[in-house]
Chains A and B, each alone.
Chain A
Amino acid sequence: MNKITLQFCGGTACHMKGAPELMAVLELLPEQITSQLHVSLTHCLENCGAGPNVRIGGVVHSRVTPESLIAIIKNLAAGQVK
């Protein structure tokens, strides 16, 4: 099974807009989902005005909230199972 790649933006604008809180949210997910994730941090996703940005499976998502992040991940994880 391919892992779901999550690239969090570690740039200053995204950091100030809540990137650390987004990363902390991953700890709330169940083990069966976190085991499917490959998480990394990048310098900039070049959409600083609309942070926090996260690249999930190659697609950059902007203005990500903890709720939307969990929803996206759960969706992708459910797709993987099928």
Chain B
Amino acid sequence: MSRRNSETTGIKRQLYTALADMTWRGQLAAEINDYPDTLTAELSTRYRCCEYKEKAVLTHRLRVAMGLAPEDVPRHATLADMAKIALSRTPKPKQCGLEMMAVACDRCPFEKYIVTDVCRNCIAHHCRVTCPKDAITIVNHRAYIDRSRCVECGLCERSCPFRAIIQVTRPCEQACVPKAIVRDGNNVARIDCEKCVGCAACIPACPFGSVADYTSIVQVVSALKEGRSPVVALVAPSFVGQFGTKASPSALRLALLEIGFTHVHEVAQAARQVAEDEAAEIKHRMSEGKPLTLSSCCPSFVATVKTQFPQLEECISTTPSPMAHQATQVKAANPAAITVFIGPCVAKKSEASLLPDVDAVLTFEEVGCIFVARGINIATLSGNGTLGEGDTLGRGFAKAGGLTKAVKAALGEAEIATHLANGLDEVLQTLTKAKKGELNANFVEGMACSGGCIGGHGTLVNRQVTEKLLDRYCEA
């Protein structure tokens, strides 16, 4: 994947694989205390000041990977203590699914506005005149920003006609469209959970891998191992090609059954029903004089509406997402079943935390690590069929525009104006227009990730690759 930050991603996957392996062998609590030592010895490269810091970071990574927040564990708890807590929990995901690990944050120290060599001590001194805090003086023939006065408003940057003052932003803040990353007095970054929409764009953005998402790997693997209740895999439409071109959809099915899932469903099946329900809802709302409906599939899109455009919340479709719909069907047929959604999305974890019918969420990356831990090579499993039941329109939900296509098909003759907001930047533009009443649309398909779900942060391959394979699968 193009945005894969190879080193930190590699370490993360190594940890996930080790956790799955130790859990499957029933040795998690017995072996995990030694794991940071083993891994630090194994890794040839060092990223931190010393191996003690390296191990401290790994300890926090393991805690988060076991699905535990700092408040879930007592002070001075060992990894073995944490493992026992993790194993005793139900696999339910957390509402705020991301954690900025303070110990891993490198505290990127730079100031936001910098005077560059382009500054020639011009005649006008727009910067000095514009600065509301009198923070700019001329020192050594160029503008100088007094950091004790600067409030980082950015007026100097905008006022300089010669572009001599530039803005530099920390990678995490740069990646965060809803501006949910703040820093404390010591420059340590923190996620403001009130503003975070869970899109996970900050995860690959940090050069030190300081942001991690809670996983249910330990809980799911232990449910698969116990086999007391049926464990049902609900696989998102974007699965196509995620495990490599040698891994066919039916081989993925076999692999999931091999690691202990009792049933495998394509969520594409529920997606089709969601399109029908959403189409009916749009028609009904329009007849009631409510011209605009917003899609409900993408949890980050829904969260953006709720947190930043509360006046539009009423427009969000009440139709459950395909994940929720499929899980409800499974639970209705067998209330004892454990439902595990497997998809490309980190934000689905937050969505699932509020849904009684979804027990756990794994990303493709996480389930891939479970396969590796269990020694399963999907490429060597045979099969030419599909993963499960599904149809062209439902499977098309995986990419941006697929939902609109399915809704339009469900509407038949009825003509509506639709609008696709592809990626969080477009989502913000679209919702701003809608708020002002300037959007000419009856239905907005909002997708936080560019390209839709196949561009999600839990995917394993570049979305351009997935797109071609998906088109082929949809037509099959």
In angstroms, how far is the closest chain A Cβ from the Cβ of B10? Answer: 7
Q: Is B2 within 8 A of A12, CB to CB?
A: no
Known: A20-B462, A41-B246, A43-B246. A11 touches B379 (CB 8 A): yes
- 26 contacting pairs across A/B (C-beta < 8 A): A10-B244, A10-B245, A10-B247, A11-B246, A11-B378, A11-B379, A12-B244, A12-B247, A12-B255, A12-B371, A12-B372, A15-B244, A15-B247, A15-B368, A16-B368, A16-B369, A16-B371, A17-B13, A18-B6, A20-B244, A20-B460, A20-B461, A20-B465, A21-B1, A41-B244, A43-B246
Q: Is A11 within 8 A of B1, CB to CB?
A: no
Does A13 lie at the interface of the complex (its beta carbon under 8 Å from any beta carbon of B)?
yes
> B372: which A residues are within 8 A, CB to CB?
12-13, 16, 48
Q: Which residues does B use to contact A, with CB under 8 Å?
A: 1-2, 4, 6, 9-10, 13, 17, 243-247, 255, 365, 368-369, 371-372, 375-380, 460-462, 465
Q: Is A15 within 8 A of B462, CB to CB?
A: no
> B245: which A residues are within 8 A, CB to CB?
10, 41
Q: Is A16 within 8 A of B379, CB to CB?
A: no
Known: A15-B368, A17-B10, A20-B1. A48 touches B377 (CB 8 A): yes
Q: Smallest CB-CB separation from B2: which chain A residue?
A: A24
Does A19 lie at the interface of the complex (its beta carbon under 8 Å from any beta carbon of B)?
yes
A15-48 contact mask (Cβ, 8 Å, vs B): 1 or 0: 1111111001000000000000000011110001
Q: Is B13 within 8 A of A11, CB to CB?
A: no
Q: How large is the interface on A (under 10, 10 to 19, 20 to 34, 35 or more residues)?
A: 10 to 19
Bound Cα distance A19, B246 (Å): 12
Q: Smallest CB-CB separation from B376: which chain A residue?
A: A12
Known: A20-B460, A41-B245. A13 touches B377 (CB 8 A): yes
Q: Is A44 within 8 A of B379, CB to CB?
A: yes
Bound Cα distance A4, B474 (Å): 36
Known: A15-B460, A16-B460, A44-B377. A10 touches B13 (CB 8 A): no
Bound Cα distance A48, B379 (Å): 12
In angstroms, how far is the closest chain B Cβ from the Cβ of A2? Answer: 26
Known: A10-B379, A21-B6, A44-B377. A16 touches B246 (CB 8 A): no
Q: Is B368 within 8 A of A12, CB to CB?
A: yes
Q: Smallest CB-CB separation from B375: which chain A residue?
A: A48
Bound Cα distance A24, B465 (Å): 11
Q: Which of B4, B368, B376, B377 touches A21 (beta carbons < 8 Å)? A: B4
In angstroms, how far is the closest chain B Cβ from the Cβ of A38? Answer: 17
> A16: which B residues are within 8 A, CB to CB?
13, 17, 365, 368-369, 371-372, 460
Bound Cα distance A19, B4 (Å): 12
> B10: which A residues are within 8 A, CB to CB?
17-18
Bound Cα distance A17, B369 (Å): 10
Bound Cα distance A49, B127 (Å): 58
Closest CB pairs A-B (n = 9):
A10-B246, A15-B244, A11-B377, A43-B379, A10-B244, A16-B368, A11-B379, A13-B372, A12-B377
In angstroms, how far is the closest chain B Cβ from the Cβ of A34? Answer: 18
A residues 30-81 with Cβ under 8 Å of B? 41-44, 48, 65-66
> A44: which B residues are within 8 A, CB to CB?
377, 379-380
> A15: which B residues are within 8 A, CB to CB?
243-244, 247, 368, 379, 460
In angstroms, how far is the closest chain B Cβ from the Cβ of A36? Answer: 23
Bound Cα distance A16, B372 (Å): 8
> B13: which A residues are within 8 A, CB to CB?
16-17
Q: Is B378 within 8 A of A12, CB to CB?
A: yes
8 additional contacts (CB under 8 A) given A11-B378, A17-B13, A21-B6: A10-B379, A12-B371, A12-B378, A12-B379, A16-B365, A20-B461, A20-B462, A41-B246
- Identify which of B6, B244, B255, B369 gathers the most chain A CB atoms within 10 Å of its CB: B244
In angstroms, how far is the closest chain B Cβ from the Cβ of A62? Answer: 14
In angstroms, how far is the closest chain B Cβ from the Cβ of A46? Answer: 10
Bound Cα distance A77, B376 (Å): 35
> A48: which B residues are within 8 A, CB to CB?
372, 375, 377
In angstroms, how far is the closest chain A Cβ from the Cβ of B342? Answer: 15
- Identify which of A12, A17, A19, A42 gathers the most chain B CB atoms within 10 Å of its CB: A12
In angstroms, how far is the closest chain B Cβ from the Cβ of A14? Answer: 8
Q: Smallest CB-CB separation from A66: which chain B residue?
A: B6
Q: Smallest CB-CB separation from B252: which chain A residue?
A: A12
> B247: which A residues are within 8 A, CB to CB?
10, 12, 15
Bound Cα distance A16, B380 (Å): 15
Bound Cα distance A41, B377 (Å): 14
In angstroms, how far is the closest chain B Cβ from the Cβ of A52? Answer: 10
Q: Smallest CB-CB separation from A13: which chain B residue?
A: B372
> B17: which A residues are within 8 A, CB to CB?
16
Bound Cα distance A43, B369 (Å): 18
Bound Cα distance A41, B243 (Å): 13
> A10: which B residues are within 8 A, CB to CB?
244-247, 379
